[in-house]
Amino acid sequence: MSLILPPGDFKAYLFDCDGTVADSMPPHYVAWKRALDEQGATFTEEQFYGLGGLPAEAVIERLNAEQGLKMMAAAVAKRKEEFYYESLPTLKAVPEVLEHVLEAHGRIPIAIVSGSTRESVVASLTTLGLLDYFDALVCAGEYTHGKPHPEPFLMAAALVGVAPQDCLVFEDAEPGIAAAQAAGMAWVRVPMPWERAAATT
């Protein structure tokens, strides 16, 4: 399976990290379940993928509101990250996206725009041997409004010195695609893990 890019002479590529460059959504969900089970919170896989791209503390606050809980967002997010780090040795890149990272590296600027913390993004990219390929990282806690707001992508475009309309966004989640559209950027949707698996069978 290859990604079909929209037409255009793009001057920068902006990549989401989890589920886009890193095939990390399944282990992230396992980490979420472990952390939330300790709190008596429920979190379905459907909810998890629907909230892709949102910072962890925002997800926890939403679950608090929906389930009448009083979880400490920062503490639960930290616990979830600890569980995720345990899975890093098995992490792989998404092949269909890695192809474009390698092709673009050194030709045009490329950046990561993530709803995960910088620590988590750096850990994932370091595991994959890709950290040095990216010219900029924009991560949770570094912007005021997360996806689906356009701010993270606009920050990345400014960091790499490319106009928003000349950027192409690679995203797997609806909030990220909405953010790209709001930023006036072209985008390509990265298939979910089960879609990629079905395409190879």
In angstroms, the CA 14 to CA 4 distance is 16
Average pLDDT along the chain: 95
Provide the residue ranges of all domains of the chain, joining segments of one domain with +.
Answer: 12-23+92-199, 25-89
12-23+92-199, superfamily in CATH?
Answer: HAD superfamily/HAD-like (3.40.50.1000)
Which residues, other chains included, contact 89 with Cβ-Cβ below 8 Å and sequence gap of 6+? 127
The verdict on whether 135 is a catalytic residue reads no
Structure tokens at 24: 């990390």
The answer to whether 12-23+92-199 and 25-89 have equal CATH topology is no
Which pLDDT belongs to residue 201?
Answer: 61
Is 168 a residue whose pLDDT tops 70?
yes
Q: Out of 9, 16, 23, 166, pick the active-site residue.
A: 16
Which pLDDT belongs to residue 193?
Answer: 86
Into which CATH architecture does domain 25-89 fall? Orthogonal Bundle (1.10)
Sheet holding 136-140, edge to edge: 136-140, 110-117, 12-15, 167-171, 186-189
Q: pLDDT per residue over 77-93, tens digit each?
A: 999 999 999 999 999 99
Cis ω for the linkage preceding 148 (within 30 of 0): yes
